[in-house]
Structure 1
Amino acid sequence: MKLGFIGTGALTAAIVTGLKSAADNSVTVLLSPRNQEIAASLALRYRDVRVAPDNQAVLDSCDTVMLAVWPQIAHEVLTGLRFRRDHHVVSLIATLSREEIATLIAPVEHVTKALPMPMIAHRQGATIICPPDRRMAAFFGRLGKVIEVDDPSEFDALSVVTASFASYFKYLDTIHGWLKEHGVADAQARDYIVTIFKALANAPETTPDTGFMDLAQDYATRGGLNEQILRELTARNVFDAFAESLDGVHRRISAGAAPRIGPQS
Structure 2
Amino acid sequence: MTLGFLGSGAITEAIVTGLSTPGGPCHPIRLSPRNAAVAAGLAARFENVSVCPTNQAVVDVCDTIVLAVRPQVTPKVLSELHFAPTHTVISLVAGFSAVRIAGLVAPASAISRAIPLPSVAQRRSPIAVYPPKSAAAGLFAPLGQVFGIETEAHLNALSTATSTMAAYFGFMGHIASWVAGKGIPEPQARQYIALLFSGLASTGLEESGQSPADLAVAHSTPGGLNEQLLRHLTEHGVFDTLNDALEAVHRRASGMQPLPATSAKSE
Shorter-normalised TM-score: what interval?
Answer: over 0.9
Given that residues 132 and 148 in structure 2 are in contact (C-alpha distance below 8 angstroms), is that contact kept between their aligned partners in structure 1?
yes
| Matched pairs, number | 263
Give distance in 1, aligned partners of 2:68 and 2:228: 45
Deviations 1:206-257 (A, max 9, x none): 0111000100000111111111111111111111111111111111222255
Equivalent position of 2:123 in the other structure: 123
Secondary structure at 1:83 match in 2: coil
Equivalent position of 1:98 in the other structure: 98
Matches within 5 A, 1:75-86: 75-86=75-86
Equivalent position of 1:34 in the other structure: 34
TM-score by length of 2: 0.93
Runs of 4+ in 1 over 6 A off after TM superposition: none
Give distance in 2, aligned partners of 1:80 and 1:248: 31
Equivalent position of 2:237 in the other structure: 237
Secondary structure at 1:72 match in 2: coil
Equivalent position of 2:145 in the other structure: 145
Give the deviation of 1:134 after TM superposition: 4.3
Q: 1:115 to 1:259 in 2, by over 3 A?
A: farther
Secondary structure at 1:50 match in 2: strand
Say if 2:208 is the partner of 1:213: no
Q: 1:105 to 1:178 in 2, by over 3 A?
A: same
Secondary structure at 2:112 match in 1: strand
Given that residues 126 and 145 in structure 1 are in contact (C-alpha distance below 8 angstroms), is that contact kept between their aligned partners in structure 2?
yes
Give the deviation of 1:264 after TM superposition: 7.4
Give distance in 2, aligned partners of 1:131 and 1:158: 14
Q: 1:148 to 1:172 in 2, by over 3 A?
A: same
Stretch of structure 1 that moved more, 225-234 or 74-83: 74-83
Q: 1:178 to 1:24 in 2, by over 3 A?
A: closer
Equivalent position of 2:194 in the other structure: 194
Give the deviation of 1:99 after TM superposition: 0.5
Q: 1:259 to 1:141 in 2, by over 3 A?
A: farther
Amino acid at match of 1:70: R
Amino acid at match of 1:163: S
Given that residues 72 and 259 in structure 2 are in contact (C-alpha distance below 8 angstroms), is that contact kept between their aligned partners in structure 1?
no
Taking only aligned residues, the RMSD between alpha carbons, in angstroms, comes to 1.7
Amino acid at match of 2:9: G
Give distance in 1, aligned partners of 2:170 and 2:226: 19
Amino acid at match of 1:209: G
Q: 1:177 to 1:192 in 2, by over 3 A?
A: same
TM-score by length of 1: 0.94
Unmatched runs of 5 consecutive residues or more in structure 2: none
Unmatched runs of 5 consecutive residues or more in structure 1: none
Give the deviation of 1:170 after TM superposition: 1.6
Equivalent position of 1:164 in the other structure: 164
Give the deviation of 1:124 after TM superposition: 2.1
Equivalent position of 2:132 in the other structure: 132
Secondary structure at 2:23 match in 1: coil
Equivalent position of 1:227 in the other structure: 227
Say if 2:79 is the partner of 1:87: no
Amino acid at match of 2:204: P
Secondary structure at 1:71 match in 2: coil
Q: 1:143 to 1:36 in 2, by over 3 A?
A: same
